Amino acid sequence: MEPLEVEGLRESVSYEPVSVKELLVEMKDTSELLIDLAYSAVLHQSDQIAHEVLELEAKMQVLQVRARMSLMLAARSPDEAEALAPVLGVVEAADTIADAAGDIAKIVIEEIGLPPSMRGALSAAVELLVRGTVADDSGYAGQTLQAIDLESETGIRVIAVRRGDEWIRNPGPETTIEAGDVTLLRGPEAAIGGVYERLTGDDYDPEPAPEPAMADLERAVDSIVLMKNLSELAVDLAYGAILFDNEALAREVANLEVEVDALQSRFEAWVLQAAAEADDPVALRGLIHLGISTEVISDAAVSISEGVLRNIGVHPVVELAVQESDELIARVEIDADSELAGTEIVEGVPAVDVSTSVIAIRRPEDGWLVGPDMDTTLRAGDVLITKGTRTSAAEFESLATGSHD
């Protein structure tokens, strides 16, 4: 068979026999990493992080083309085409998210303009993410993540490593940190400075976030932050919907997309009102770009869960890909004898020493509770959709089932 060549990207792509599941895992992890990096680039006004986004966006284009090739070859009958159609939707949605993240990064790279108040608001909405290059004499160089044990000792997690042109998007306990690696660190601000300095040998000197100024602009900024949170939640719930073949979760994704659309309409009105008062209205262009890209992400979430919504079913390859991705989406039920019963959840984070987030709760008498600002107390019988590392997912499940020592 002659190789299929696709031109017009940064590199040509030839067909290679490859596991669709592995491609889907990589695309899911990459798209979620891209969302984190894009908003962090805006928050820190970081050209370096913004360029990392564009590099990953280009790699996502290659992954999408390879996935489409494999899916086209796999569909040999109408029944197979029907079963694989939702898989193609997941592939296209991941690429759409990557494009939207690239557009967000260009706000920084092309100096489109963004009001300083935007950074003040994002600082409370974006988990702290820092990019650092491992110094030759770093105390971490040459050690595995298990030996360093950053997450247990400091709460800081290495979420990705770039070594030359290659990305390690799912660094595990056996991953070795080498001198020259570009690492992406996420965690609490109080601890990240010390880790960054030991890693890079440089001082950690974050810029203070400015305060919002105008009332209309403040409302617009608050709206875009809420749109961001709801869009990210929609993506999480969409993957949960296909993992558990859960129509209720898929409907919540569609509801979130409608809410994001409504927020965007109000957001645009407040931006225009703020422009009338601004000394430099052109500085608000970046806000409009951010709003458009954020809304695109929520649309992509609907595409991910479309197979569930249309009762086409979930292809096993998608379920396996979601199960094996970097951040694991899990379903747990709180047993009657679980020590989690009575535990408070504040802004989606349970008050336990396990690094996981609760993104949705199904409560028998109340139905689904969803939202990034979810504040509640866990009860026996609650069914939780959580997101975290494999280690934290296992620890949280043991707490939920009452089997924790």
Domain coverage including residue 163: 128-200
Looking at the structure, do residues 366 and 387 belong to the same domain, yes or no? yes
pLDDT digits (tens, 9 = 90+) for 103-122: 999 998 988 877 766 666 66
Buried b (16+ CB within 10 A) or exposed e, 34-44: bbbbbbbbbbb
Q: What is the model's pLDDT at position 365?
A: 75
Please state the rounded mean pLDDT for residues 51-75: 87
What is the percent of the chain where pLDDT is above 90?
Answer: 11
Supply the pLDDT for residue 134: 92
Single-letter amino acid code for the residue at 12: S
The pLDDT score that the predictor gives to residue 57 is 92
Predicted TM-score (pTM) of the model is: 0.75
Is residue 5 domain-resident?
no
Domain shared by 109 and 135, yes or no = no
The reply to whether 55 and 188 lie within a common domain is: no
Q: Which residues on adjacent β-strands are paired with residue 387?
A: 329, 357
Pick from 123, 113, 122: which is nearest to 275 by CA? 113
Q: Which of 200, 227, 255 is the last residue of a domain?
A: 200
Span of 35-44, 215-224, 287-296, 355-364 with lowest mean pLDDT: 215-224
Residues 177 and 192 occupy one common structural domain = yes
Average pLDDT over every residue of 199-226:
72
Identify whether 242 is part of a domain.
yes
Cβ–Cβ < 8 Å for 330, 397: yes
Task: Please check whether residues 382 and 306 belong to one and the same domain.
Answer: no
Residue that finishes a domain, picked among 147, 170, 200:
200
User: What was the pLDDT predicted at 14?
Assistant: 60
Q: Is 10 in contact with 21 (CB distance < 8 Å)? A: no
Q: How many CB atoms lie within 10 A of CB 364?
A: 9
Mutual angle of helices 285-304 and 247-277, in 10-degree steps: 170
Asked if residue 205 is part of any domain, the answer here is: no
- 354 vs 166, higher pLDDT: 166
Please report the pLDDT score of residue 119 as a whole number: 62
pLDDT, residue 36, reads 86
Give the contacts of 227 (CB within 8 A, at least 6 positions apart).
Answer: 260, 263, 264, 267, 291, 294, 295, 298
CATH number, domain containing residue 156: 3.30.70.1450
Q: What pLDDT sits at residue 94?
A: 92
State both tokens at 20: 């669709």
Ranking 1-10, 210-219, 266-275, 305-314 by mean pLDDT, the lowest is 1-10
pLDDT in tens, 311-345: 776 677 777 777 677 677 778 888 888 888 888 88
Q: Does 26 reside within a domain? A: yes
Tell me the average pLDDT of the chain. 80
Does residue 310 sit in the same domain as residue 270? Answer: yes
228 φ/ψ angles, rounded to the nearest 5 degrees: -60, -50
- State the Cα angle at 220 between 217 and 226, rounded to 5°: 145
Q: What tokens does 24 get?
A: 């889907």
196 and 67 belong to one structural domain? no
What pLDDT does residue 6 have? 40
Q: Is residue 10 included in any domain, yes or no?
A: no
The answer to whether residue 120 sits within a structural domain is no
Domain identity same for 104 and 228: yes
Q: Quick check: is 146 in a domain?
A: yes
Q: What is the mean pLDDT of residues 365-394?
A: 79
| 253: nearest Cα among 333, 179, 310, 325 | 310
User: Do 195 and 176 reside in the same domain of the chain?
Assistant: yes
**Nearest of 325, 329, 324, 33 to residue 158 by alpha carbon:** 33
Q: Domain check: are 111 and 151 in the same one?
A: no
Assess if residue 278 is contained within a domain: yes
Whole-number pLDDT of residue 297: 94
* The predicted structure's pLDDT at residue 4: 42
Q: Are residues 140 and 266 in the same domain?
A: no
Check whether 142 has a pLDDT greater than 50: yes
Domain total of the chain: 3
In the listed set 271, 303, 320, which residue is the last one of a domain according to the structure? 320
In this prediction, residue 15 carries a pLDDT of 57
List the structure tokens of 247.
């129509």
Cβ atoms of 299 and 257 closer than 8 Å: yes
Once rounded to an integer, what is the mean pLDDT over residues 137-162?
83
105: CATH: 1.20.58.220
Same domain, 315 and 218: yes
pLDDT digits (tens, 9 = 90+) for 86-102: 788 889 999 999 999 99
pLDDT tens string 160-211: 888 887 888 768 788 899 999 988 887 777 778 888 888 888 888 776 555 5
